[in-house]
Amino acid sequence: MVDGEAWILDLPQRSSSTAEGSSGALALSMIALRFAVSRNEERVDITVVCPDRDIELPARSHHYLLVTLARTRLAAAGAPSAERGWLERDELCRMLATDELRLNVEVCRARKQFSALGIQGAASIVDRRMGTGRIRLGVERVDVRRM
């Protein structure tokens, strides 16, 4: 009873077909990314390499952001894992010839695309260090090749 009105709480049974309940759920830490970049850098194809299959993503504009972050991660291969691949937001904006607002839109779109694949932790496809303005690719295993 709430304010003299009767209410019934009806909670659904937990289904094992949800992403959280699935034993085969894919986590961001389990994948690798394979980038194929055209010679003029106008096209970037991404393949998500999973333990049991490869998923080719439809081309999107935010893929160039991700390959830029992947290249930065690869360039810092000798650094400790926790320090590998970080870029200042302002520097990244200069590299991409964009502004902070557009960068945020691209990050959001990347997160949405990976989330749609059912990948747990997809929001971390692009990591941000709070309070520092630093950003990096959230996947450690990357490969960048020319088409």
**Structural domain contains residue 48:** yes
Q: What range does the domain containing 59 cover?
A: 26-146
Read off the tokens for 80: 């400790």
Print pLDDT tens along the chain (147 aa).
Answer: 788 888 887 777 665 444 444 446 889 999 999 999 999 999 999 999 999 999 999 999 999 999 999 999 999 999 999 999 999 999 999 999 999 999 999 999 999 999 999 999 999 999 999 899 899 999 999 999 999
- Burial grade of 110 (CB within 10 A; 0-12, 13-18, 19 or more): buried
This prediction has a pTM of 0.82
Say how far apart CA 147 and CA 143 lie, in whole Å: 12
What spatial distance separates the first Cα and last Cα of the chain, rounded to whole Å? 65
Measured in residues, the chain has a length of 147
**Structural domain contains residue 1:** no
**Predicted local confidence at residue 16, as pLDDT:** 46
Q: How many domains does the chain have?
A: 1
CA dihedral 109, 89, 145, 37 (to 10 degrees): 50
